[in-house]
Amino acid sequence: MARNHQVQKAKLAEQAERYEDMADFMKAVVEHGDELSNEERNLLSVAYKNVVGCQRSAWRVISSIEHKTEEGDDKAQLVNEYREKVEEELKSVCNVVLGLLDKYLIKKVSDPESRVFYLKMKGDYFRYLAEVATGNDRQETIDKAQKAYQEAMDISKKEMQPTNPIRLGRSGGFLGLGGSPRASQHRCQQLCTACPCPYPPPLTHPEDAPASLAPLRNRAQQSHTLGFNV
């Protein structure tokens, strides 16, 4: 009962756009130790995506101001300190999510779709950490994101249909990962092989249009509902 109450509170928090509360409620649900339903999995994803999204946006704005502030300017140190504060908050949230994934979610998952979802989520949060990392730390974090994305892609290629919205959505972060142009080209080639075109062949009869377009509408609606991370 307590677990269900946390889920209901998370739904209320989402409606009120109190995403930090929503994240706390879903964290408690995960820590109960049971496997999440698809609905609960999506609530968890939406909650933390919104929390970390605000922090990433704030970090970008403050970093831009910092770059425009001349060294020696009276406010330069203030801007630097505030950017570091936001950065630490962002890192803290990412590490919480990664901890939940490793301790509770990935190792207990029983179906390929959920495993791909969580591995892609893991790659996303390592990617967010890489955005604010520097030097060797950045490359190490990128490598961890790459590993999670690659594992998700490998499983999806073996276990899921090419047009499955989870599989298609999981490929987005894989391409968004930083790296050399050659590495990006290689990832694009992998994606094209893994995800052949989901669209139907050209119509020969106009009356076939409604039936042919229905699967595309369904896939678009599913992708919107799942709230893929960016």
Closest among 101, 61, 113, 97 to 82, alpha carbons compared:
61
Please return the burial class of 149, using the count of CB atoms within 10 Å of its CB with bins 0-12, 13-18 and 19+.
buried
Could you tell me which residues come within 8 angstroms of residue 152 by beta carbon, excluding any fewer than 6 positions away? 115, 116, 119, 120, 123, 170, 174
Lookup result for tokens 């730390």: 137
Distance CA 38, CA 23 (A): 16
Q: Give the distance from CA 73 to its chain's centroid.
A: 38
In this predicted structure, what is the pLDDT of residue 178? 53
In this predicted structure, what is the pLDDT of residue 38? 94
Closest among 227, 223, 221 to 41, alpha carbons compared:
227
Could you list the mean pLDDT of each consecutive 10-residue stretch along the chain, which spans 230 residues? 92 98 98 95 98 98 93 87 97 98 93 94 98 95 96 87 56 54 51 46 50 49 50
Please return the burial class of 136, using the count of CB atoms within 10 Å of its CB with bins 0-12, 13-18 and 19+.
exposed
pTM summary value: 0.76
In this predicted structure, what is the pLDDT of residue 72? 75
In this predicted structure, what is the pLDDT of residue 188? 46
Domains, in order of start, for the chain: 1-108 (1.20.190.20), 111-230 (1.20.190.20)
Contact 151, 119 (CB under 8 A): yes
